[in-house]
Amino acid sequence: MAPVAVAVQQPATVTQNAQQDSKITLTPSHVKFINSQLQNLEPQQILQWAILTFPRLYQSTAFGLTGLVTIDMISKLQPQYAVAHPIELIFVDTLHHFNETLNLVDRLKKRYASAALHIYKPENCDTVEDFNRLYGERLWETDEASYDFLVKVEPIQRAYEELGVRATLTGRRKSQGGKRGDLDIIEVEEYTGLIKINPLANWSFKDVHEYMKSNDVPYNVLLDRGYRSVGDWHSTAPVGEGEDERAGRWKGKAKTECGIHETSKFAKFLAAKKVAQQEATA
């Protein structure tokens, strides 16, 4: 695909002494204007624009269908860039994934060998046994908020900090339902300033599935068993006829998100933890 000229004003004010220290500022008016300009573009065009625009851009993914399509699209941009896969990947291993998900990760490493993959786990834990020893078994039943923070929110925030992430590609789409129904293509986290880009926000499940088939993209075999959105084994179920894609996540609960995309929910907790750590080392 030839480079695409996207008619969008330079959106970010970038102060850059070194790439690792790049800082990006997007005002609300910038975000509104950018979304209006990107709204009718194809995902490949949005990806090209994002790669050219944002320093320290990564893709955070749990290797769901949309994330897999994004990885494949980026891999096909290779002739335009000095490296084969210009966006590095971040995967949070919660230690509670399905075996099928972990097997998919191994297959993807072979298929997209040039894509750098950073794997983060709950702090001080390499195995589920480590996690249970520290926090007890079935923490998701006894303290769900702490579980979400420990296995998802803290690892991804640690990844963003250690890797110097300023912007990230996500796999969220409007058609997934729930709080994602009015999703924009570009968002800025209120508390962290992290820029989130949702390149396939306007695609349907059918669009994603057709791309997967046409391009022979590896996928989680759980899809063939009725799953459409796959998370931890204990909080994921197949989706019924006529249900939203994410209806199988936390089935029977009002909950629709794990916290990774609800940073404000954990902002006070994060701030209190940081203060406590500073006081402990003072």
pLDDT tens-digit map of 184-211: 999 998 878 899 999 999 999 899 999 9
Burial label for 144, CB within 10 Å (0-12, 13-18, 19+), is middle
The pLDDT of residue 273 is 62
Q: Which one is catalytic: 168, 176, 258, 266? A: 258
Mean pLDDT in order along the chain per 10 residues (282 residues): 40 39 78 94 95 94 95 84 82 96 96 95 97 95 89 93 96 73 85 91 92 96 86 84 63 50 54 69 74
Give the Cα separation of 95 and 127 in Å (integer).
6
In the annotation, is 258 catalytic?
yes
Report CA Rg, the chain: 19
pLDDT in tens, 98-117: 999 999 999 999 999 999 99
Q: Report the interhelical angle of 205-214 vs 65-75 (nearest 10°).
A: 50
CB burial string 14-35: b at 16+ within 10 A, e below:
eeeeeeeebebebeeebbeebe
For residue 85, the model assigns a pLDDT of 87
Looking at residue 258, its pLDDT comes to 46
Q: How far is CA 117 from CA 52, 85, 255, in A?
A: 21, 11, 29
CB atoms inside a 10 Å sphere around CB 60: 23
